């Protein structure tokens, strides 16, 4: 797992923007890897949908998320950035979160400054945050708890919703000064906001491009030139899953067969190949055949 962390750090230090589609489970994480991406990002929003069938409002427990992360790491060979919400409690809880996520093979965790329980940063309404002093304490705990210095901490702030972009920039800068390896400010993603963040917050920066909600304000190349090193696309898997699978199921219900949507379905052989059936057959041949 140390090799993956070194790889993630090297990618960040190389200076080119890193596209990170958001997986929701081990299956989709394999799909991200097989599509040629170099980094996986586990979205808490998507994980809540996949595991619980419920929205991202702080219902996922630490153990549920850690188990999903472990499955993703075991199923893939690329670095995983995991959304660890608020760290699942106070600074003491954050210590366990860091150590368990590091032991699971995660390469980087995202910690946010919302109160517990949190809500998805893109749902309508208020985003109450803890005090700056409390969050700095949680970040210090996270940094002290890690055993591998290449296990990265991504500090996220949701302060812009209730306190304005200026306060969010102040917090992100303080988190970076405290030792966070990367920072992300949760904003709508309009041009003016991203430009101000790129000017005023020390890098490396993370941007989230949710093109299921609005057209991207900048291209990947433009964001990279502005100092954003990781570009997360949170909706590409979960929202495609909802629409594509929903359409296939409605066709089956309406027509009594999948004939009209079969061209959009993988074959059984393609499905098993994506899951690594060839590797399993190799194990069987090596260890089971006498």
Q: Identify the pLDDT of residue 121.
A: 67
In whole angstroms, what is the distance from residue 191 CA to residue 158 CA? 18
Residue 177 and residue 213 in one domain = yes
Question: By residue range, what is the domain housing residue 148?
Answer: 2-236
In whole angstroms, what is the distance from residue 235 CA to residue 241 CA? 10
Residue 172 and residue 195 in one domain = yes
Are 9 and 221 contacting, i.e. CB atoms less than 8 angstroms apart? no
Residue 89 and residue 128 in one domain = yes
Residue 132 and residue 161 in one domain = yes
Count the domains in the chain. 2
Residue 254 and residue 269 in one domain = yes
In whole angstroms, what is the distance from residue 216 CA to residue 235 CA? 13
Q: How many angstroms from the chain centroid is the CA of residue 114?
A: 17
Helix axes 26-34, 236-255, angle to 10 degrees: 110
Q: Closest by alpha carbon to 195, among 165, 215, 173?
A: 165
Please give the chain's pLDDT, 290 residues, in tens. Answer: 789 999 999 999 999 999 999 999 999 999 999 999 999 999 999 999 999 999 988 899 999 999 999 999 999 999 999 999 999 999 999 999 999 999 999 999 999 999 988 877 677 767 899 999 999 999 999 999 999 999 999 999 999 999 999 999 999 999 999 999 999 999 988 899 999 999 999 989 999 998 888 888 899 999 999 999 999 999 999 999 999 999 999 999 999 999 999 999 999 999 999 999 999 999 999 999 86
Residue 88 and residue 115 in one domain = yes
Return the SS3 of 203: coil
In whole angstroms, what is the distance from residue 151 CA to residue 149 CA? 5
In whole angstroms, what is the distance from residue 136 CA to residue 113 CA? 9
Helix axes 132-145, 91-103, angle to 10 degrees: 30
Q: What single DSSP character describes residue 265?
A: S
Give the H or E element holding residue 82.
strand 80-83
Q: Identify the pLDDT of residue 241.
A: 95
Residue 126 and residue 54 in one domain = yes
Residue 46 and residue 177 in one domain = yes
Q: Identify the pLDDT of residue 32.
A: 98
Cis peptide before 204 (omega within 30 of 0): yes
Cis peptide before 200 (omega within 30 of 0): no
Residue 140 and residue 271 in one domain = no
Q: Closest by alpha carbon to 241, among 31, 33, 18, 20?
A: 31
Residue 106 and residue 130 in one domain = yes
What are the start-end ranges of the H helices in the chain? Answer: 2-14, 26-34, 44-52, 62-75, 91-103, 132-145, 160-178, 191-200, 220-225, 236-255, 268-274, 277-287
Q: 236, 252, 274: which is the final residue of a domain? A: 236
Question: What's the CATH number where 23 sits?
Answer: 3.20.20.60
In whole angstroms, what is the distance from residue 173 CA to residue 183 CA? 8
Strands 205-208 and 228-233: parallel
Residue 228 and residue 279 in one domain = no
Q: 218, 236, 254: which is the final residue of a domain? A: 236
Q: How many angstroms from the chain centroid is the CA of residue 177?
A: 23
Residue 70 and residue 114 in one domain = yes
Q: How long a stretch of residues is the chain?
A: 290
148 to 3, 6, 38, 72: CA distances (angstroms): 11, 10, 21, 20
Q: Closest by alpha carbon to 201, among 179, 182, 224, 220?
A: 182
């Amino acid at each position: 797992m140390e090799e993956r962390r070194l790889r993630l750090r090297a990618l960040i230090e190389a200076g080119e923007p890193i596209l990170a589609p958001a997986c929701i489970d081990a299956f989709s994480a394999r799909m991200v890897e097989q599509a040629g991406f170099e980094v996986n990002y586990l979205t808490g929003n998507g994980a809540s949908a996949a595991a619980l069938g419920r929205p991202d409002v702080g219902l996922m427990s630490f153990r549920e998320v850690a188990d999903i992360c472990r499955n993703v790491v075991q199923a893939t060979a690329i670095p995983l950035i995991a959304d660890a919400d608020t760290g699942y409690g106070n600074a003491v809880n954050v210590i366990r979160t860091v150590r368990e996520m590091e032991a699971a093979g995660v390469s980087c965790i995202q910690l946010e400054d919302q109160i517990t329980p949190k809500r998805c940063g893109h749902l309508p309404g208020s985003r109450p945050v803890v005090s700056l002093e409390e969050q700095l304490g949680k970040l210090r705990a996270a940094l002290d708890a890690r055993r591998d210095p290449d296990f990265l901490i991504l500090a996220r702030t949701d302060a812009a919703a209730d306190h304005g972009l200026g306060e969010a920039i102040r917090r992100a800068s303080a988190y970076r000064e405290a030792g966070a390896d990367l920072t992300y400010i949760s904003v709508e993603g309009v041009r003016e906001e991203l430009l101000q963040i790129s000017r005023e917050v020390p890098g490396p920066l993370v941007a989230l491009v949710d093109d299921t909600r609005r057209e991207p304000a900048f291209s990947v190349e433009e964001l990279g030139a502005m100092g954003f090193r990781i570009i997360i696309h949170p909706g590409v898997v979960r929202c495609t899953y909802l629409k594509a699978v929903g359409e296939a199921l409605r066709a089956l219900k309406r027509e009594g067969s999948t004939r009209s949507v079969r061209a959009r379905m993988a074959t059984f052989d393609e499905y098993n190949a994506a899951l690594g059936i060839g590797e399993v057959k190799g194990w069987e041949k090596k260890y089971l055949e006498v």
